[in-house]
């Protein structure tokens, strides 16, 4: 279980520029937090799972949640603390970030603004948060040791073509048992979870500057076009457009 190195109350708004691979150690704070990477890719980890967000997504972290940050690619990280919880979420979540919400998050970190301006911006920010949608970009952490072993095997090699039956044989569990565990622990089927894993790794590799074809093959898609189709359906744009936005 992740434990914080210290209790870390945060300033209401913060901008941090992180080098590729840099991070912020496990901590918690008294306010809810929006973590948004305007450049790069941000991952947040807790004892319950991992969330990842490119520049058109943000991560909601509820107050009191022990978590840590990790940057992939050079990352401009905007952290906005809120006492309100307009989303009524008790666990982290990835949120869609449109142009208006993006500018509001960035504007809230501008120290040159007066307190009155900040209050007005936050009021609009809270309104926009109520309108945003959650995105399925979470990798939950398994509690069953057999499921955990399967997840670790595929995390080490997302391109592995192993079936659930062959993975089960290696950990001493039947295919039906593992299928049931994926549904009961993750609320996902095995194929859905594997797609989430591969997209998670794809975002990291893209942030590190790898070509689309290399990312597709290293993450397990049979062809670059299959990867592009999945990526577009999930994020609303192609991996090539994603790379252009992060240059």
Based on the fold, state whether residues 84 and 124 are members of the same structural domain: yes
Contact 240, 182 (CB under 8 A): no
Based on the fold, state whether residues 59 and 130 are members of the same structural domain: yes
Domain's final residue, options 83, 103, 138: 138
pLDDT of residue 4: 52
99 falls within a domain: yes
Domain's final residue, options 138, 167, 202: 138
Number of domains the chain contains: 2
pLDDT per residue of the chain (247 residues) written in tens, 0 to 9: 455 544 443 445 667 778 878 888 999 989 999 999 988 899 999 999 999 998 889 999 999 999 999 999 888 899 999 998 888 888 899 999 999 999 999 998 887 888 898 889 989 999 999 888 888 788 999 999 999 999 999 999 999 999 999 999 999 999 999 999 999 999 999 999 999 999 999 999 998 889 999 999 999 999 999 999 999 998 888 888 777 665 5
Domain's final residue, options 120, 138, 156: 138
125 falls within a domain: yes
pLDDT of residue 9: 39
pLDDT of residue 161: 92
d(CA 183, CA 212): 31
Based on the fold, state whether residues 132 and 193 are members of the same structural domain: no
Instruction: Copy the structure tokens of residue 240.
Output: 């090539």
* Long-range Cβ contacts of 24-31 (<8 Å, 24+ apart): 24/68, 24/69, 25/68, 26/2, 26/66, 26/67, 26/68, 27/66, 27/67, 27/68, 28/4, 28/64, 28/65, 28/66, 28/67, 29/63, 29/64, 29/81, 30/63, 30/64, 31/63, 31/81, 31/82, 31/83
Beta strands in the chain (DSSP E): 6-7, 13-18, 23-28, 32-46, 49-53, 57-61, 67-82, 93-96, 134-135, 138-140
d(CA 111, CA 197): 38
Based on the fold, state whether residues 44 and 90 are members of the same structural domain: yes
- Which of 61, 42, 62 is CA-nearest to residue 52? 42
């Amino acid at each position: 279980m992740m434990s914080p190195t210290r209790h870390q109350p945060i300033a209401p708004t913060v901008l941090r520029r992180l080098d590729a691979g840099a991070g912020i150690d496990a901590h918690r704070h008294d306010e809810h937090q929006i973590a948004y990477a305007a450049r790069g890719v941000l991952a947040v980890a807790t004892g319950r799972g991992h969330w990842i967000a490119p520049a058109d997504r943000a991560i909601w972290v509820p107050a009191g949640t022990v978590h840590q940050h990790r940057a992939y690619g050079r990352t401009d990280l905007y952290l906005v603390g809120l006492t309100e919880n307009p989303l009524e979420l008790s666990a982290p979540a990835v949120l869609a970030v449109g142009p208006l919400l993006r500018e509001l998050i960035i504007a809230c970190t501008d120290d040159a603004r007066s307190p009155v301006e900040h209050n007005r911006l936050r009021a609009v920010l809270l309104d926009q948060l109520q309108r945003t949608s959650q995105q399925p970009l979470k990798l939950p952490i398994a509690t069953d040791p057999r499921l955990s072993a399967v997840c670790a095997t595929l995390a080490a090699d997302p391109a592995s073509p192993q079936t659930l039956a062959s993975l089960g044989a290696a950990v001493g569990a039947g295919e039906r048992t593992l299928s049931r565990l994926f549904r009961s622990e993750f609320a996902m089927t095995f194929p859905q979870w594997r797609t989430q894993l591969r997209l998670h790794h794809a975002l990291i590799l893209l942030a590190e500057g790898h070509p689309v074809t290399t990312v597709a093959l290293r993450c397990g898609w049979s062809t670059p076009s299959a990867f592009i189709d999945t990526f577009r359906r999930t994020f609303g744009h192609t991996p090539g457009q994603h790379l252009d936005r992060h240059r």
